[in-house]
Amino acid sequence: GMVAARLISKAGSLVSLAKCPASTVQILGAEKALFRALKKKGNTPKYGLIYHSTFIGRAATKNKGRISRYLANKCAIASRIDSFIEEPTTKYGESLRSQVEERLEFYESGKAPKKNIDVMSAVAKELAAAREELEKGETKKEKKSKRKADDEEGAAKKKKKKAKKEAEAEEPPKKKKKKDGEKEEKKEKKEKK
């Protein structure tokens, strides 16, 4: 968490960190040591801000440089995923973290870790399956809500018709009255003539 925040801060933004190669991510924060090493033709630094990660603290001294490089690779991948993915998810980050754990174990016991392509494709499949289920659920919900709206509309129309019929039944027809009145007036006019 803190290391990621520091790396983003040092790079300027998540997108600019995503644009950095893994080798740059590895030594972010150790620019002074890097330029000193280049100037004096010495050894370049193995780690920058990434050194504060617990993974490097847990590694044996001889493996610190190796795990630093591996962690920088995973950080670079994670920053690119987070920066350009359409639907943010923690699945990729969790799988990348488990890969670093496996790599630490590999340095200690020699147990072969999983390949990155297998892990990433597994996560992609899992997310695709979850998306499909979500879409199915949404279409069902849409159908239900549409049906409900149609039912409500139908009920409202029935109520209006019923109310109209009741109103017509209660009120005597007005048009006939007027005609009766007109007939009477015509009769009176004829009588006058």
Torsion over CA of 9, 10, 12 and 15, rounded to 10 degrees?
A: -90
Tens-digit pLDDT profile for residues 135-189: 887 776 666 666 766 676 666 666 666 777 676 666 655 555 545 555 555 555 5
Q: What is the pLDDT of residues 18-32, one digit of tens each?
A: 998 998 998 888 888
Using pLDDT thresholds of 50, 70 and 90, give the confidence band for residue 39. very high
User: Residue 32: how many CB atoms within 10 A of its CB?
Assistant: 10
Q: Are 103 and 113 in contact (CB under 8 A)?
A: yes
Higher pLDDT, 63 or 186: 63
Tens-digit pLDDT profile for residues 93-148: 888 889 988 888 888 888 888 888 888 888 888 888 888 888 887 776 666 666 76
Average pLDDT over residues 35-39: 91
Closest C-alpha among 108, 86, 112, 113 to residue 97: 113
Residues 6+ apart with CB under 8 A from 72: 22, 23, 25, 26, 50
Q: What is the pTM of this model?
A: 0.65
> To the nearest whole number, what is the mean pLDDT of the chain?
81
Q: What is the pLDDT of residue 110?
A: 82
Q: For residue 164, which amino acid is it?
A: K
Tell whether the model's pLDDT for residue 89 goes beyond 70. yes
Q: What pLDDT does 40 receive?
A: 92
> Please, are residues 20 and 11 in contact by the beta-carbon 8 Å criterion?
yes
